[in-house]
Amino acid sequence: MSEARILDGKATALAIRTEVRSAAAKLEESGCRAGLAVVLVGEDPASHVYVRNKDRAASDAGLAVQTVRLGAATTQERLLQEVRTLAEDDAVHGILVQLPLPSHLDAAEVIEAIPPHKDVDGLTQSNVAALVTGRPGLRPCTPAGCIELLTRYEIGLEGKHVVVVGRSMLVGKPLAHLALAANATVTICHSRTQELEQHCRRADILVAAVGIPELIRGDWVQPGAVVLDVGINRAEDGRLVGDVDFEGASRIASAITPVPGGIGPMTIAMLLVNTLQSAALRCGMTAKDLGWGR
């Protein structure tokens, strides 16, 4: 069996970041600098790494970035105050609250304090409703990154059977809606799904967003299928691995994303895209004005 084509999220994300940089420079020429604010609460090491990467990518693309770091003991009221201050700041076009929050905080209430037009993670109820009803809005970065990666590799979704394993609000559910909007036929699997293996075998495009190292075995993949592995897990030997057995699956699939270097970098690239789009809209410019988009 031949080896699958690698869907290189790192290279694709770099190309998108270059496009964002050029569009952001055009926006700035017209007197509007796109601004992103990232709010990080607590000491979770993975969150610190993610925020650092987002901060760096946004700065590289010429966006104004501010990171608000708050201690693990921050109260709900203090966090809400910070978000409301950013909500009123005209220099801030995108607000991202890094999840998960410490368990004493109510993430849903904090997210709803973000105005929908600054909700670059696409998690407010208004943006979720826009996604489900097909209205314009900001889409969650990871699922948007999955779709963008497929688009750039000219892998169409129309009429395909997309099987999404995972139903979180952050990844699985929005991805299923984006695939549906692209005219795919969608199956969503989760922890109570029976015969997961059989569902996976029927996928033309299989997306794993579970958080269990190498749950999806190579022989669960239909020959010729496309595999998107969203999972980022630390294996017992310290390696970063996805939710898919990469070695096994890449012998059977026609195309597959690696971990790392697949969907992770695409997520960050889409955060920049969302921030730029939000800034452009606020400054009365269109994607076309910025020489952006297809």
Where does this chain bind ligand NDP (CB under 6 A)? Answer: 142, 165-168, 170-172, 189-193, 196, 209-212, 215, 230-233, 263-264, 267
Pick between residue 64 and residue 249 the one whose CB is nearest to ligand NDP.
Answer: 249
Is 54 among the catalytic positions?
yes
Q: Which residues contact 132 (CB under 8 A, 6 or more apart)?
A: 177
- Other C-beta atoms lying within 10 Å of the C-beta of residue 234: 11
Helices (H), the chain: 9-29, 45-60, 76-88, 107-112, 125-133, 141-152, 172-181, 196-201, 246-250, 263-282
Helix (H, G, I), strand (E, B) or coil at 233: strand
**Residue 213 C-beta: closest distance to ligand NDP, Å:** 9
Are 188 and 172 within 8 A, CB to CB? yes
Amino acid at 149: L
Q: How far is the CB of 240 from ligand NDP (least distance, A)?
A: 10
Percentages helix, strand, coil for the chain (3-state, rounded to 5) are: 40, 15, 40
Q: Give the residue with the Cβ less far from ligand NDP, 205 or 280.
A: 205
Residue length of the chain: 294
Cα–Cα distance measured from residue 218 to residue 221, given in angstroms and rounded to the nearest whole number: 6
Q: Which is nearer to ligand NDP, 66 or 187 (CB)?
A: 187
Catalytic-residue membership of 98 = yes
Specify the residue, 121 or 204, whose C-beta has the smaller distance to ligand NDP: 121
**Catalytic option among 8, 54, 160, 173:** 54
Annotated catalytic residue within 98, 173, 243, 277: 98
The sign of the torsion formed by the CA atoms of 240, 242, 248, 252 equals: negative
**Which lies closer to ligand NDP via its Cβ, residue 117 or residue 167?**
167
- Give the gyration radius of the chain's Cα atoms: 19
Q: Cβ of residue 145: shortest distance to ligand NDP, in angstroms?
A: 7
Asked whether the bond before 100 is cis by omega within 30 degrees of 0, the reply is yes
Q: Which residue is nearest to ligand NDP (CB)?
A: 168
Which of the following is catalytic: 121, 204, 243, 245? 121
**Least distance (Å) between residue 210 CB and ligand NDP:** 4
Residue whose CB is less far from ligand NDP, 256 or 263: 263
CB of 188 to ligand NDP, least distance (A): 9
CA distances from 81 to 70, 114, 271 (A): 12, 11, 23
CB of 159 to ligand NDP, least distance (A): 25
Q: Residues with catalytic annotation?
A: 54, 98, 121
